[in-house]
Amino acid sequence: MNETILKAENLSKRFESGRHKVRALRGVNMEVKRGEFISIRGPSGSGKTTLLTMIGCLDTPTEGKLLLDGEDVSSLPESGLCDIRRRKIGFVFQTFNLLPYLSALENVELPMETMEPSPEKRRKKAMELLGSVGLRKRMSHRPNKLSAGEQQRVAIARALANDPSIILADEPTGNLDTRTKQGIMGLLSRLNAERGTTIIMVTHDPAVCNSTDRMLWLSDGRILKKERKGFNLIRKKLMCPRCHCDIRPEFDECPGCKARLEPAGGPDSQSRKIEGSAGKSDPRR
Ligand code: ADP
Ligand code: MG
């Protein structure tokens, strides 16, 4: 996990409306490795959404450089930004932003229209994605027939539609109760661990930060030197039951003690057993 997927150098953003000037970002420097799950925390108005907007190519910085997947996106014209958004970015918002007159399935199919010419392939993929977020039986429902947690799951499936390099989530659990929030965090952690999708998530919630790999603290448009290692919910649980070293979901052999591991038991499997052993996997972590 050493490849840099995102690098921001001295990123600044000024908004001007009439005589009013706001310096929303004041020289942000940050680097994210492929496959990381990062959270960004900070007080209201500290520039979190603005930073996500720059990273997501929805707007360009006033100054500074932004490299995304090796490409300098800081001064691209709108057509170039639009292309990057379509190919590389998946967005998840606090208010889900699903289209109310489309079913869950149609909402997930929609972003694929410009990328995948075959309607059959679009449908198949949307069905797979909704299955992977636990909504196989709710595909034909419109958003108003789904709970808040289910709507956010649809939004996450939609964000994955074009196999983005990065998922950007702005307060994705902000409108959810505690239990639903935990479910959504579990899902994001699993997608990050199993698919290797890089996730950058803005949140107010310290508990939510604790289940990511790393937290950045934004204050007054700057990142304070307060990076803290959290832990990824799912990575924490994927471990060798014999020597307790961390294993990645795709491994079928422990990199530490070389024990053969049984294949993961479906999408919700959060632990692994040694091949042929009858015992349960170690619950200590
Ligand atoms: P956060 O997401 O941390 O609450 P924002 O990034 O939304 O903060 O906003 C940072 C600052 O930039 C705030 O002072 C906000 O009012 C200002 N701001 C954000 N977007 C705009 C805009 N489009 N025009 C003018 N000011 C803006
Ligand atoms: Mg915000």
CA-to-CA separations, 197 to 51, 83, 89, 191, 225, in angstroms, rounded: 19, 19, 11, 7, 25
Ligand 2 center to 283 CA (angstroms): 38
| Closest atom of ligand 1 relative to the 218 alpha carbon | 3
DSSP codes of every residue in 66-95:
EEETTEE-TT--HHHHHHHHHHHEEEEETT
- Calculate what percentage of the chain has a pLDDT beyond 70: 82
Ligand 1 contacts CB of residue 48 (under 6 A): yes
Mean pLDDT along residues 162-177: 93
pLDDT tier for residue 10 given thresholds of 50, 70 and 90: very high
Taking a C-beta distance cutoff of 8 angstroms, is the pair 154, 107 a contact?
Answer: yes
| Closest atom of ligand 1 relative to the 221 alpha carbon | 10
- 172-182 residue pLDDT tens: 999 898 888 88
Ligand 2 center to 49 CA (angstroms): 4
- 212-246 residue pLDDT tens: 888 999 999 999 866 666 555 455 445 666 666 66
pLDDT tier for residue 15 given thresholds of 50, 70 and 90: very high
- Quote the strand ranges of 80-221, DSSP E: 89-93, 166-170, 198-202, 214-219
Give the global pTM. Answer: 0.81
pLDDT at 152 over 60: yes
Residues of 11-34 as b/e, b for ≥16 C-beta within 10 angstroms? bbbeeeeeeeeeebbbebebebeb
Ligand 2 center to 175 CA (angstroms): 13
Ligand 1 contacts CB of residue 22 (under 6 A): yes
Amino acid letter for position 147: S
| Closest atom of ligand 1 relative to the 53 alpha carbon | 6
pLDDT at 83: 92
pLDDT at 70: 86
Residues of 206-228 as b/e, b for ≥16 C-beta within 10 angstroms? eebbebbbbbbbbeebbbeeeee
- 18-45 residue pLDDT tens: 888 999 999 999 999 999 999 999 999 9
Ligand 2 center to 43 CA (angstroms): 9
Ligand with smallest separation from the Cα of 21: 1
Question: Measured between alpha carbons, how far is 128 from 138 in angstroms, rounded to an integer?
Answer: 13
- 108-138 residue pLDDT tens: 999 999 999 999 999 999 999 999 999 999 9
| Closest atom of ligand 1 relative to the 17 alpha carbon | 25
Q: Which of 14, 20, 22 to mutate to test the pocket of ligand 1 (most atoms within 8 A of CB)?
A: 22
